[in-house]
Every structure is written in structure tokens, then in C-alpha cells.
Amino acid sequence: MRRLLVGGVVVLAVTLMCVCGAWGKSLKIGFNLPMTGGIPDVGESSKEAAEMLKEQVNGAGGVKVGKDVYDLDFVYEDNEEKAESATAAMLKLITQNEVLAIIGPQASKQAVPAGETADSFETPMISPWSTNPNTTLNRPYVFRACFLDPFQAPVAVNFVSEEFGAKKAAVIYDIASDYPNGLANDFKKAFEKRHGDGSVVAFETFTTKDTDFSAQLTNIVKSDADVLFVPQYYGEVPLIVKQAHELGWKKPIMGSDSWGSGDLMGLCGDDCKGLFFTTHYSPVGAKGSTKEFIDRYSAKYGRVPNDVAALTWDAIRLLLEAIRNTRGLTGNLQNDRKAVRDELAKIKDFEGVTGKMSFTTTGDPIKCAVVVKINDKGEYEFYKSVCP
Amino acid sequence: MRPSVGFVLYALAAIVVLTLTQWNGINAYVQIVIMFIGINIILSSSLNLINGYMGEFSCGHAGFMAVGAYIASILNVWLFASDQVFGPPLFPPSSALFLFPVTLLIGGIGAALAGLLVAVPSFRTRGDYLAIITLAVNYIVKSSIENIQAIGGARGFMGMRKVVKSMTEAIDLPWVMIWIFVSVGITVWLIRRFVNSTYGKGMVAIRDDEIAAEIMGVNTRRIKMIAFMLSSGLAGVAGGLFAHILGYINPGSFTILKSTEVMVMVYLGGMASLSGSVMSAVVFTLLLELLRPLQVLKWVVVPLMLIVLMLFRPEGIMGNRELSDVFPKLRRWFQAKEPTS
Amino acid sequence: MDHFLQNLLNALQWGSFYALIALGYTLVYGVLLLINFAHGDIFMVGAYIGFFVATFLIGSYSYHIPFGLPNEVLFVITVLVTMVLTAGVGVTLERVAYRPLRRRGAGRLYLVITALMAGLILEHGNLALLGASRRSFPELIPKVVYQWGGVVVTNVKLLVIVTTVIVFLLLEAVVRKTKLGMAMRAISYDRFAVPLMGIPVDTVIVFTFVLGSSMAALAGVLFAAAYPVLEPYMGALIGWKAFIAAVVGGIGEIRGAFVGGFLLGFVEIFVAAFFPSTLRDLIAFFVLLIFLSFKPTGIFGVARSTKI
């Protein structure tokens, strides 16, 4: 009886959910985003960038692929910032909604398992923001629009060594979150390679959602480190920086690309001024298409786009470029997906709002990192560009 | 023993679903939802053993799930797949076919041993103090995994997909789904047998009055130990299966939030009601999937529905009863013999 | 030595928050035997209400208060208004979700699940209403850093610690000396005899929720002043940990909540300071496990004799 009930409910569910996607004159692209969970703002800004692009493209008459013109149709799924939910959302997009390709997930925790799914279902996926090497490793259908952790870390190490003459460094990071954890370890490796073993004098950790870092920061302040590296998200950075200053830290603090993905200055205020971080692009002093993007986004949503928005924008445009290059879709989903993947893999150079990217065979872009300084007006000022 | 009608029906349903899966009659999304339902059935009915039948308040079930998931995954990847960490496979990959249930079981045994961490303090502690101990165990498990860099730490562990792939390459069948059906069947059968045995009666006696139970000659320590180990062991099996559905696990998937989800399923179904647990696992999982389009509002609507449900049925869907108590005619479906009492 | 004193101060501040939140758990538990898991989220609501009150008072919206006040006064007003409003939220929750259930005689664990659900609604309702971007609590008290030798302390830190101690003394007095406080203790002592004595149980329960929620609000505003980043999920983790603190102290005991809160704060801070901080949670929770194995009812908890 139990099973009968289960069967009945499943059948009901199938009929309810099986809205068989009509392959009309629209291009269906799926988005796998964290709308709830720990980083809802990441999902929100990705969605905003996507909506803006959709309006722009559809307003201009759609995407011309070969002889046909298609309207964009975006399907958003919430992955709740959970690995299992991201996988389920992925399968739903691929098999229920029958999307052509997928943008997202953003954070590596979801992008790594979801990439596995996309690859085994031979659906092209571009993660705009996941910097974990495993996301694209040995997965021909998975691409990304940002650089990798092992590249970013040496950039930060070289920058602090040359700019501040740092010989000893301290690091504070979240051990339970794989992005900060990976980056902190890469930073340690790179720093010790340059300055010898033991040159990272304090390597302190905390756990996701902690707000008090006083014990760790006390250790860091008492150590004789020359610079503090904080590879954290923008929600924790103001707390860390403020508490460090309260505990008497006066030396420089260096950050990573996750700093730029939110309203850092609104949360941090004066404490963050004069600090540096590596990132994907710098909104201040941008030119050309980057400036155009920033202006339009700010006009529409009333704030400067963060790096997630910019990378999502680039990822979608990259995908559209590949779709255009197919010179006509057949309507057979499996073949079209393969064609799009092949075209994605063929793109060698791409001019995005986050800079020029060239793709390696693994689906990872080679692009320049930017070091920005937070100036006295609280803007992210371009300071230095570091290319591989 | 003659197989009961319930068992036959379950086997038939399983075969139908598996056939559909094999011939692509249902798409992968529906498949994964069915698999998650299976996992949730194991989790909620095994937690019901502790929270329902024994009347304790365990809120760290995800910790045991993590232990099982990691042990089974590491064993499988180490034995049957070539991996950066563990090197080439020790056994031919196709042998995963036969040894997968063994590793799954070892994962379950590992989780059962972790269950001792809760079982031993439970001899002296009850109620909310024991709840804290289960919480602490959940934190300890998560934090330990995060600190072992060899198995990926916070970055998680993967490679299970290769194992599953080598199984399908040997014989082309949906193996993970098969093992989920088998495990769900065994779990439900095992728990039903357990709660109807003298141990089960002992558990209920402990819930109602521990001291009286002890005076009446119930070996409370032994029963607590076995109940905790069985419950956490089953959670471990569920974890192992979960890991092989996703092909990727990380400690962040096994937090208190996950434990809370399982707890909600138990109380939604009704304490000490096995059929309630099974039903609520099905309903809850489907509800979460069906309400996906609501995005942010989903997590407002679902709890609201549950609160309203609680207001109208404060004892959960089934209360303290089984399906066969509500519809006595069903009894012959579940039992081979007529009940003696 | 500096190092030790500095961490002592850090631990006192951090423990204060645990203590203030644990108090809400303990009060409600003492009277209702209900683990109010929504309490962490009431703390979050308190911080958000505090944020809106404070930004309103400093004139961030179109309507301004017609006269200027010094920031310290604004802070005090913020705290008081927030406490009143949050107490309203707590009481509403009691009336809407818990009381009907209680009347129907539901098992106490079903109440716990209802509380968990209420917490989820508060979190995600906030997310849906206010959006995902975090808020920064305005700096009403200009930060002053004092330094003695190698020990650094800010005025906010001192304020937090002193307020917590005062609140503790006040509450002890309320519970021991006032009629309502005595009624609360009576209910936790014998819940069956009390209604027979003509004590209005519902009034006492409402009073308990007012007390607990306003303490959570106080904690919320102080927390926002010390850690000025607000987000919808801020109450979840600290709520669970404060619950742990309440139980370690001996749940149902006001002294227990304070001692347990400070104890948890000390363990967390000192493990992070003197051991590899990667092992913080591991060591902290092992200590807890061992402690509870030896003292199963917490520090002040009394093992109740069970009648057969």
C-alpha cells in the first residue's frame, strides 16, 4: 500500500512536472543559482545580470543563429547552496526543462558535483565564478569564466612581496568553505616557496558563519607578520578588518577576488579604505564595453555590479557567441548541445567585460588578474594588472 | 515464511520503476527524485527508532550519515577506481559489482560504531542533555572531516562516479537505484521486525518509564546500545548511497540543517509510526521538489504548511499509529500471519 | 600574560552574547519545557529591528525626527524601542504558533518542530522581504580604543560585558523578588499544582516570552554594534550554540545560562587562541561531550527524581 501511494504520487508528480518544452523560436538557457542558503546575494546579482542581458538581446530582436532568429528564454533554479539540490536542479534543467546549456552554479561546493552531472548528460555548462580546479577537470562539457585558485595565489604573493616588502605573512580563513580554504593553502604554498619554510607565521582558521575572530586575530597581531591575507567573502571581510584594527593591527591587509562580490564598502566603511585585493575586474576607471555594462547595470539596479554579475554577463555572452558560431541549430537537442560545446571549445579569445580571456583545452580561461586599491572615496581603483 | 502482500507489492513497484529507468521511460530528474525519496525514507525511519520509539531527542543524524558516506566512498574509490590520492585500483573495477554492498555495509558499520559516541553517554543522560551530545557529535564528525586534508577536507571527496560507471560497464543496469530499493526494503523490514521484537517493546518501555522498565528486568543499556547502533548504522548506509548518487560529498552537506530536515520528516510523519515516517519522507521530498519554482518563498511556504498541519494534526500525519491501525483491513497486506493479539 | 588577558576580554565579550541568548532558551524552557528553536531567529529579528530603528533615528528615511539628539541617547532609545518591538514578535509567535498547539495537548517535541519551522519562516521571510544584500548597522557609538600595555579594548566591548552583568543581576532580582518571577519558578517547580493555586499560567507564559525576547533583542542590538554586518541567517548558528550553552549550564536555571554562555565563550576563544585554530570546534565539542558525560545535568541542573 505504501508503495502504491508512492507510485501514485510519483505519477502525479511526473504529469505535473512534465511540461514538455516546445522547441519553438526560443533559446532555452538554464541557470543554477544559490537564491537561498548562505550566499543569496550571489544568486541575486547573477539573476540581475542575466535579466539585463535578456532584455537587451530580446529588445534588439533576438539572437541570430544561421538563418533563424531566436528569443532568449532563461529558466532559473534555486540550488539552496546545497550540493544535492544543485545536482537535482541540474537534472531538472537538463531533462525536464530541456535547456540548451547551463550557466552556473556559482560556488565550487555546488559547481563541482553539478559539473559532473552536466558532463555525463553532455550538456554544456559554464560556471562563471567557481575557481576550484576540480570543476572543469576532465570534463569536456564544463567551462568557466574566471581564473583558478592556483593562479590567483601567486599573484597575491608576488604583489605583497614587492609592494610591501613582506617577508612574513599571516592568513585567516574559513576552514569549512572550500574556496577560502583552497586559496589560503595555495597562498601558503606560494609564499613559502618564495620566502622559505615557516614564513607564514600565523595560519588561523574559523568556521562558516562565525562572527567573532578576536582570538585568531590576537594571535596574528602578536605574531610578527608583515601582511595579513584574508581570502574571504565580503560578508566576513568587514568583521575581520574591523576587529583586526580594534585589536591593534596597523599593517597592510590583502584580499582576494571574493571581496568584490557585494556591497563591501557599505558594510565596511572607513576601515577598508587603503586596502588591496586581487579581482577579476575593476569598476572604477573602466573603459569601453566594461564601462557601458557598469553604467547600464547601475542605472537599472542602483548599485555598481559586483564581480559575480560581471562574470555571469561574460559567461552568457560567451555562450551566445558559441551558439551563433554553430550557424544554425537543428532542433535535435542532443546534437545542438554537442555543437554548442564544440564551438565553446573552439573559442580561443574572447573580449569580455572582465577582460580578455583565452581558453585552454581544459575549459579554463587564461585571463589577467587585477589588483585594485580601495581608495579614500571607497571606490575600487585599478592599481595593477597581473597577467600569467 | 510466506512473503507478505506488502513485500510483493513493493518488489513489483521497484521492478516497474527499475524497468522504466532502464529503458528511459522516466527521465533522469524523476529518477534522482525517486532516489532521494529512498534515502529520506531510510533516514527518517531510522531516526524514528530513536526519536519516536525510544523517546530520545537526537538531532545529529547527519553526522552518522557523513561517517557512512565517507567510509563507503573512500573504500570504493580506493578499491575500484584509479584516483590521484589512492593510485590505481586494488581490485579489478568490475568487481565493484559484487563488493559494492559490502563496502556499503562497512560504511554502515562504521557509522554504527560512531553511534557508540552517543549510546554510551545515553546510559546516564536523557532528554535535552542527550540532545546536546548528539549535536556535539554532529559537529565533531563534520569538523574532523574538514581537518583531514588527505580526503579533501572542506573541498570534498569525489571519484564515486567512476565506481558506478565501472559497475554499469560490467552489467548495464541502474545499480545505484537497485541498491537504494534493496536498502529501503531491508531498512523498513528490519525496523518493523525490530520494533515488534522484545527489543522494540523494551524501547517503548524505556520511553514510557525508564526506571520501571529496568525494574521489570529490561536490560536498558543493551537496548539503548543496539537501538543507537542500528539507527546510526542505517543512517550510514543512507549516506553511502547518497554519496554514490551525487558522486561528490563534502562535509558542508552534513550539517545540523540536514539533521533538522530529517527530524522534520520524523515528526511530520508521527512519532513511533513507521508508515508515517515513510509517507512523510515521500511527501516532504516531493513537496520540496514541486515547490522549486517558488525560489526564495519556498522556504516560507513549506514551514508555514507544516505549522498549519501541526495546528490541525498536532501529532503528525499518522500520530502514534501505523497505517494498518487506521485501515485494519490492510493488516493482511503487511503480515504473513494474522496477528495473535 | 598580555596574550592571556587580551583573550580573557575577547572571551568575555563573546560569552556575553551566548549568555544573553541562552537566557531566552532557559526562561522558556523553565516554564514550558519547550526548546524554543526560533529563539536564534528572534535574536536576528531583534538585530534587524534595531537596524531600522537606528537608521530611522539618525534620519536615513524621508521622515526625520524634528529634534537632534546625541548619539548615545539615540543608542539607548534604539535599544529600548527594539526590546519592546521584539518582545511583541516573541509574544505573537507564542500566541499564533505555540499556544494553540499547547491547548490541543500536543507532545512537546511537536512544539519543538513548530519552533524550528517558525525560525525558518523568520529567516526566509526576511530574505524574501528585504532581499539578500546585507545591512551595516550604523555606528551610533563612536569607537574608542583603549590600550593598557599590550591589552587593547574598545568601548563597545566594555559596554557589552558590563550590560550583560547588569542584566544578569537584574533578572536574578526579577525572578527571585517579584510576584511574576516567583510564579515562573513555581511553574517550573510543579506545573500541575500551580494553576490550582489560582496563578494565571498564560499571563506568566506571556511574561516569560516578553522577558526572553527582549533579552534577545538586547543581544541583537549589542551584537550589531560589535559585529555590524546583518544577514538573515545570522541567528541560526549562534542560536544553536547558545542552546548548547544553556544546557551545559543546566537548562531552566538563569545562573546556568550565564555561566554556560561564558563557559562556551571561554572554551571557543581559548581553544582558538592556544591550540591550532583548525581544531577549535573539534576540541570545544569534545570538552563538552566529556563534561556532559561526567555531569549529565549540566552545571546547576538538578537531577529530578522520577516517581514511579
The residue in chain C having the minimum alpha-carbon distance to the alpha carbon of residue B57 is C109
**The predicted structure's pLDDT at residue A19:** 39
What is the distance in angstroms between the Cα of A163 and the nearest Cα belonging to chain B?
A: 31
B279/A2 touch (CB, cutoff 8 Å), yes or no: yes
B264/C128 touch (CB, cutoff 8 Å), yes or no: no
Q: Which amino acid is at A24?
A: G
Cell matching residue C196: 490550582
Q: Is C152 on the interface with A (CB under 8 A)?
A: yes
Cell matching residue A278: 586581487
What is the distance in angstroms between the Cα of B56 and the nearest Cα belonging to chain A?
A: 26
Cα–Cα dist B26/A95, whole Å: 10
Q: Is B10 on the interface with A (CB under 8 A)?
A: yes
C117/B271 touch (CB, cutoff 8 Å), yes or no: no
Please say if the pLDDT value at position A103 is more than 70.
yes
Question: Closest partner residue to A266 among C3, C13, C136, by Cβ?
Answer: C136
Residue with cell 572543469: A136
The residue in chain A having the minimum alpha-carbon distance to the alpha carbon of residue C225 is A239
Chains in touch with A (3+ beta-carbon pairs under 8 Å) read B, C
- In angstroms, how far is CA C308 from the centroid of its own chain? 36
| Percentage of the residues of chain B whose pLDDT score is greater than 90 | 37
B154/A10 touch (CB, cutoff 8 Å), yes or no: no
What is the mean pLDDT of the segment spanning B246-265? 87
Residue with cell 573580449: A351
The alpha carbon dihedral of C80, C81, C83, C88 has a sign of positive
The residue in chain B having the minimum alpha-carbon distance to the alpha carbon of residue A112 is B248
Please say if the pLDDT value at position A363 is more than 80.
no
pLDDT band (50, 70, 90) for residue B337? very low
Question: Closest partner residue to C101 among B144, B299, B311, by Cβ?
Answer: B311
Q: How many CB pairs under 8 A join B and C?
A: 136
Q: Is A224 on the interface with C (CB under 8 A)?
A: no
> What H or E segment, with its residue span, contains residue B158?
strand B157-158
Q: Can you name the residues that pair with A75 across neighbouring β-strands?
A: A30
C229/A40 touch (CB, cutoff 8 Å), yes or no: no
**The predicted structure's pLDDT at residue A21:** 38
pLDDT band (50, 70, 90) for residue C132? confident
What is the mean pLDDT of the segment spanning B310-320? 78
Chains in touch with B (3+ beta-carbon pairs under 8 Å) read A, C
Please say if the pLDDT value at position B340 is more than 60.
no
Which residues of chain B neighbour A113 with C-beta distances below 8 Å?
Answer: 158, 246-248
C29/B131 touch (CB, cutoff 8 Å), yes or no: no
A120/B161 touch (CB, cutoff 8 Å), yes or no: yes
Question: Closest partner residue to C282 among B120, B133, B140, by Cβ?
Answer: B140
What is the mean pLDDT of the segment spanning A259-266? 76
A44/C236 touch (CB, cutoff 8 Å), yes or no: no
Please say if the pLDDT value at position C307 is more than 80.
no
Which residues of chain B neighbour C287 with C-beta distances below 8 Å?
Answer: none
A211/C3 touch (CB, cutoff 8 Å), yes or no: no
The residue in chain B having the minimum alpha-carbon distance to the alpha carbon of residue C287 is B136
Please say if the pLDDT value at position B1 is more than 50.
no
B139/C289 touch (CB, cutoff 8 Å), yes or no: no
A6/B158 touch (CB, cutoff 8 Å), yes or no: no
Q: What digits encode the pLDDT tens for the residues C178-198?
A: 998 889 888 887 778 888 888
What is the distance in angstroms between the Cα of B209 and the nearest Cα belonging to chain A?
A: 32
Which residues of chain B neighbour A84 with C-beta distances below 8 Å?
Answer: 36, 242, 245-246, 253
Question: Closest partner residue to C109 among B57, B142, B143, by Cβ?
Answer: B57
**The predicted structure's pLDDT at residue A304:** 81
What is the mean pLDDT of the segment spanning A125-138? 86
A94/B29 touch (CB, cutoff 8 Å), yes or no: yes
In Å, what is the CA distance from C125 to each residue of A296, B78, B137, B295?
30, 45, 31, 12
What is the mean pLDDT of the segment spanning A334-358? 87
B267/C288 touch (CB, cutoff 8 Å), yes or no: no
**The predicted structure's pLDDT at residue C168:** 93
Identify the residue with better confidence: C235 or A37: C235
Q: Is B7 on the interface with A (CB under 8 A)?
A: no
Across chain A, where does the E strand assignment appear? 26-33, 63-65, 68-78, 101-103, 125-127, 142-144, 169-174, 200-206, 227-230, 253-255, 276-279, 349-352, 355-359, 365-367, 369-374, 380-386
Question: Closest partner residue to B154 among A89, A94, A177, by Cβ?
Answer: A177
Q: Is A175 on the interface with B (CB under 8 A)?
A: yes
Which residues of chain C neighbour A266 with C-beta distances below 8 Å?
Answer: 136
Q: Is C76 on the interface with B (CB under 8 A)?
A: no
| Averaged pLDDT score across all residues of chain B | 87
Which residues of chain C neighbour B140 with C-beta distances below 8 Å?
Answer: 281-282, 285-286, 289
**The predicted structure's pLDDT at residue B168:** 87
Which residues of chain B neighbour C281 with C-beta distances below 8 Å?
Answer: 139-140, 142-143
Please say if the pLDDT value at position C219 is more than 80.
yes
Q: Is A316 exposed, middle or buried (0-12, 13-18, 19+ CB in 10 A)?
A: buried
Cα–Cα dist A183/A205, whole Å: 13
**The predicted structure's pLDDT at residue A8:** 55
Q: What digits encode the pLDDT tens for the residues B94-149?
A: 888 888 999 999 999 999 999 998 888 888 777 778 888 898 999 999 999 988 88
Which residues of chain B neighbour A178 with C-beta distances below 8 Å?
Answer: 153-156, 250
Q: What digits encode the pLDDT tens for the residues C52-79?
A: 999 988 877 777 776 777 888 889 999 9
Q: Is B312 on the interface with A (CB under 8 A)?
A: no
What is the mean pLDDT of the segment spanning A137-151? 85
What is the mean pLDDT of the segment spanning A329-356? 87
Phi, then psi, of A141 in degrees rounded to 5: -95, 0
The residue in chain B having the minimum alpha-carbon distance to the alpha carbon of residue A84 is B246
Q: Identify the residue among C113, C280, C300 best suited for mutation to test binding to B, counting B beta carbons within 10 A and taking the highest.
A: C113
The residue in chain C having the minimum alpha-carbon distance to the alpha carbon of residue A235 is C229
The residue in chain A having the minimum alpha-carbon distance to the alpha carbon of residue B24 is A95
CA–CA–CA angle A242, A247, A252 (5° rounding): 65
What is the mean pLDDT of the segment spanning B42-65? 92
pLDDT band (50, 70, 90) for residue A18? very low
What is the mean pLDDT of the segment spanning C254-268? 92
Cα–Cα dist B227/B51, whole Å: 11
Q: Is B331 exposed, middle or buried (0-12, 13-18, 19+ CB in 10 A)?
A: middle
**The predicted structure's pLDDT at residue C44:** 96
Lowest mean pLDDT among A192-196, B50-54, C59-63: C59-63
Cα–Cα dist C75/C81, whole Å: 10
Count CB neighbours of B26 within 10 A.
17
A113/B248 touch (CB, cutoff 8 Å), yes or no: yes
Closest by CA to C160, choosing from C5, C304, C19, is C19
Question: Closest partner residue to C110 among B139, B267, B297, by Cβ?
Answer: B267
C240/B57 touch (CB, cutoff 8 Å), yes or no: no
The residue in chain A having the minimum alpha-carbon distance to the alpha carbon of residue B161 is A116
| Averaged pLDDT score across all residues of chain C | 88
Please say if the pLDDT value at position A11 is more than 60.
no
